[in-house]
Amino acid sequence: MNATTKTGYLLFAHGARDPNWALPFEAVAARLRAQRPGAGVRVAFLEFMAPDLGSAADALVAEGCTHLEVVPLFLGAGGHVRKDVPPLLDAVRARHPGVTVRLHRAVGERDELVAAMAQAAIALAETP
């Protein structure tokens, strides 16, 4: 990336009717902002919650982001990640042809997350 590139991280989650469900995703976003000062960071949702993927991407572009890293905060790449997300990203690319948009694997497919969940399961089970 060159000096004029500003990266935006678009953290994509499913969404739920309970507003408290978004809190862990916002916590991830807060940690990412602390680790990548100057980068754009937004959380977006597939359904039930706002903003949706397109609106969050538009906001990152409005902030000057020219490169979007789309990170699905899903445990696996089910139908949503494989089938629903690509057309949504195609629409973002059509609205912002000068912006690079890159879709990553679901975070739950990363070895370090699987290991962390196993450790958390042990810790929870061993807590009185």
Q: What is the pTM of this model?
A: 0.89
Identify residue 40 by its one-letter amino acid code: G
Listed residue (87, 8, 78, 84) closest to 46, CA to CA: 84
List the chain domain ranges. Answer: 7-126
The share of the chain scoring above pLDDT 70, in percent, equals 94
Instruction: Convert the pLDDT of each residue in 64-99 to its tens digit.
Output: 999 999 999 988 766 667 778 899 999 999 999 999
Would you place residue 5 in the very low, low, confident or very high pLDDT band (cuts 50, 70, 90)? confident
The 3-state DSSP class for residue 44 equals strand
Residue 91 phi/psi, 5-degree rounding, is: -65, -40
Please state which CATH number belongs to domain 7-126: 3.40.50.1400
Instruction: At 106, list the tokens.
Output: 């679901």
- The confidence score (pLDDT) of residue 8 equals 98
